[in-house]
Chain A
């Protein structure tokens, strides 16, 4: 019995880690701009597919490929912001969110042209047998994904709290006008947030592709689940998305295990709704801050 429970738990952790990484990407842009970037899933797909392109197609070494993949993703984030968000005269949030949807459709189109409709994958970071714990197994790559998620949290924490750019970005999030008045280049901060979020998304893509494979149209599903993770944890809270991601992943797995696998998505979404009814600001969010939000 315990073995089976552990196996469900590990499966949930694997899935949850993926959601958590996507959810973090949402928060970065949300924090600087209040925009929900619905092209976040495509950043993850770009990460996975470009990594495949550099390692399997061009046969570049691992670290070089990672670097190039992150550069590509960062560039896509930069172009997206400069070409679609910045030229916008209106600051209507709903309009901006709609723009991110159209960008996601365009990106999907480009990816399907370049990579076709097949799934792609490459070997796990470390070869070898999965670990065994109490009779249940956990894949090595899952540990990598969890480790990388943790590393991202630490790095983002340091960035927001210890660097001047990070602090400036937080200032933009609190009050754009006031940030502008004290001399922060808001437009630049918005641009950096898109680059950063694209890179975090791509990191996620690189890490999860050996587990789940990657294909051009995986983005929307990742975006929806990552968005749920971010909402559940409290939109804008970095650690919240991680907690939300793992909760949803484990809930899905437990539902599939103890109730029925056909119901897993439904139950996870019902729990999400319940959380939002009882704590509209999310698990970690403060309700006072939530009232000030535009979204």
Chain B
């Protein structure tokens, strides 16, 4: 082949390569940023999947499940936010919510109707006994109890955490505190209970009494219970914190790379939700616009805050995985004279609260029961995203949520409110400062850029000493940046776009911002914002730690 042969062939390959690159897509599409994840496929072929609780523990503890590649969350939109989807709905993250709205939570009613409750199913085994009832309206609820050692604890934790997780944007069931009267409960004909050999047999009043024996009983003989309204749709199992469902066409982002699951560690740490694992999730097939879609719920918040569901939370909760080699061997070899520091933490004796505190709590080292691949993959921008949502939860809303637990001991309400607010401050301090906290970028038609600092706004950091800004033209087709002007340094949260960019005809501009504060080294992480010219400038892209 001669050189003359090579020239046109090379040209052809070059052009083709360029086309291939451009076919990979521009950086920004005309509909960016999207706020609704287009889950348009019909998922009617999804089949129920069972989860082995033991396997989940083994896999996540010893087999390092999921993809641990250090990469950005895959389901964020172009401005680094999470679009609404079957997993998450933007709530307080996008608009202010007052305390009343937080306290209302997911509730659409007032709980089980007055009148007889008809038991239609029971769970006599396991650590959290309960049963399913149909109320006089025909609504189905799952009934759970408080342990006799800690009246009001598990039900209180369930209600508080349900309301707060709903506020953050997660899908949760309607959970109500209700009163069960033994004489108002009847057993539906044909209801069965599993015997000691897990074989169903007809349920009778003795079985009901046996269940109630394990529950905290009030002085008047009634029981305070959690009534969890049945989630609509066909249950199809649990979701895992890694991988995708192979039978769900809409499930394309590996769960360990979903922002709302990575960022959930922030909320879990705040609320001590150490039971944040697959077994406490619920996938349900629901009909929407004539097609089926799988929605992903978080369930069972009975082991949050100071509650361990059937007893006060263990001191290990949040501090160490069930299995960790190093502290285990150190404890073995030192004949137990090495005492894990969290063992020594003191808790007040308030049965309705259990065990939760804010002094020893360090959000950045908080841990669930065993490793969670999504939590493990969380990057600073994931933490920041969640912390930002948390920062928007007003203090009086926290107080309102705790009040919704209806603790009869005022010490419980006061203590839990205080602890949650103190933990909230710690969480925000850790994770709003974990990366560049610049938010709220706006570029007006005259080229003035303004922005906010989320850490400063949340009062978890002093004002930045200065910000630096580097402007560039941005070629959306090739992804190329062409620097314009020299780096700017400002001490206020406004800056002026270089004159040549303003007079330019280019469609896109980009600006990379760093913040500087002697105490906050992570603020120097670069943040690049992209604006599109359209009747002024519109923010269409944002990358924290690009």
Partners in one complex: no
